[in-house]
Amino acid sequence: MTKILFIILLSFISISAIAKDKKAIIFEKNTPVKLYRLGGDMTNVRENVDLNVDPYKKAVGHNQNLVEGISTTSKEPSGTNFCTIESKSKIPKDIKLIKDPVDSEHYLWAPTKVMRLEAFKTLMGNIPCEPKK
């Protein structure tokens, strides 16, 4: 049992070291490229999947050591169940867009501070995301 725990711990250390070598790029004013959101609109937030939610306060927050948020991609998906965010779209105050340091096509939308989940969804709803026609 101890041997298994040691191997698991060692694998987490390796993953953390790799992640720290690559720096995420953060945008807080405008989107740098056209982005696509699968599954509908920007307010579709899955609790404890996209963002960890405090069960008592229903709050989400910025975590320096963990990259989490609403996923978007710069690669146009196939099919029709997605919306498009144009390049140079305004990023709402208290929201940041993080370019994934490992996957160059992946971008995450996350809060810059602790806020209630409903406030985060409202801010995300201000991001123009046009459904595919």
Of 97, 91, 94, 89, the residue nearest 119 (C-alpha)? 94
Higher pLDDT, 74 or 66: 74
- Dist CA 33 CA 10 (whole Å): 37
Confidence (pTM): 0.76
Tokens of 83: 């919306």
Q: What is the pLDDT of residues 39-64, one digit of tens each?
A: 878 888 888 778 888 777 777 765 55
Query: What angle is formed at CA 94 by the lines to CA 93 and CA 96, rounded to 5 degrees?
Result: 95
pLDDT of residue 127: 94
Of 75, 49, 58, the residue nearest 120 (C-alpha)? 58
Q: Scan for tokens 């694998």, then name that residue.
A: 11
Higher pLDDT, 94 or 17: 94
Q: Which stretches of 22-126 are DSSP H helices? A: 117-125
Residues 6+ apart with CB under 8 A from 116: 57, 58, 59, 60
